[in-house]
Amino acid sequence: MMVKFWGVRGSIPAPLDPIDYKNRILDIIQFSQNKFREEPNLTSEKIYELLPMHLKELIGGNTTCVELREGNEQIIFDMGTGARKLGYDMMARGITGDIHIFLTHTHWDHIQGWPFFIPGYIPTNSIHFYSCFKDCEERFVLQQQFKFFPLEFHQMMSKRIFHYLKQGDTFTLGGFTIKTEPLIHPGNSTAYRVERNNKSFIFATDTEFFGNELKKIIQKKKKFFYKADVVVIDAQYSLKEAEQKIGWGHTSMIVAVECAIAWKVKRLYLTHHEPAHDDYHTYQMYEEALNYLSKIPKAKLEIHLAKEGTTIEI
């Protein structure tokens, strides 16, 4: 299976602004000048390689949208603003016909990309929405009322089919076996475990794993997450923010790592990045999480930040 992150930001899009951009350029110039002083023969490419991650990489500002592919079969998770570019890419790749979109829930940051998703306007496309909300279609209609968007949901030219899923369901779609699991989030959210050829992928945002009940939660969710090859999980907050934002529905990066260790997950991708954090801040949290992980004896977990545009193989 192949997974591509089209949107990894939580809550609201957070593009790099002109001040951030200027500061980043200045930091890169400073870093390069220092390196040249130490070693005047360094090539530009070598200096690029030496840059700290928060200068070299861009986490990305689009909200949640993830694509899973195996051969000609595709599953999309959520329609955050990242779905806009996914739509262009699917058009360029000539993907038409039945398109399958699994929704964790319908908060804005998970559905706002839909009216900008070009495959939704192609008459020969059948878009299948899957969710644990019986009124999911109504929610999409509401989002696209004429007061808020120039074209209403039912005026879009594709065919749309809504599939209602129950929490805990297991079913197949093409060669994928998919299981649902409830998460802890205001208004509810659903995690999906997808299996194929003895490999497993879990998409689990938005969720709040925190508090006095954490040990119990970890135990309760163990069966669903157990030994997954790749888990993409909500890791929006620092530990301090998680304490301040109890009930907001998100997990701290360190607790996300703690959970994954207990569930014997192999690779963990931390996502739903806080829009108030710049890349420097997010990488600092990541360093703290790596440090936490390094102190757990015998932990075999690998952790990564989910970044827009990144592709991973499972």
Contacts with Zn ion by CB under 5 A lie at 107, 109, 206
Integer CA distances (angstroms), 186 to 19, 106, 227, in order:
34, 11, 27
Please tell me the distance from the alpha carbon of residue 200 to that of residue 177, in angstroms, as a whole number.
9
Looking at the Cβ atoms of 181 and 206, the one nearer to Zn ion is 206
The nearest distance, CB 104 to Zn ion, in angstroms, is: 8
State in angstroms the smallest separation of the CB of 264 from Zn ion.
26
When the beta carbons of 184 and 261 are compared against Zn ion, the nearer one is: 184
Evaluated on CA atoms 251, 254, 257, 261, the torsion sign reads negative
Half-sphere exposure of 139 (CA within 13 A, CB side): 18
8 Å CB contact between 178 and 193:
yes
Least distance from Zn ion to the Cβ atom of residue 114, Å: 15
Nearer to Zn ion, 195 or 206 (CB): 206
- Kindly state the smallest distance separating residue 245's Cβ from Zn ion, in Å: 13
Closer Cβ to Zn ion, 109 or 279, answer by number: 109
Closest contact distance (angstroms) between CB of 111 and Zn ion is 10
CA angle, 192 then 195 then 199, to 5°: 125
Nearest to Zn ion of 206, 274 (CB atom): 206
Q: Which residue blocks in the chain are alpha helix, DSSP H?
A: 18-38, 44-50, 53-56, 83-93, 108-111, 136-143, 214-225, 239-244, 253-262, 279-294
| Nearest position to Zn ion, beta carbon | 107
Q: In the complex, what is the shortest distance from the CB of residue 202 to Zn ion, in angstroms, rounded to a whole number?
A: 16
List C-alpha distances in Å: 87 to 84, 97, 220.
5, 13, 37
Nearer to Zn ion, 109 or 258 (CB): 109
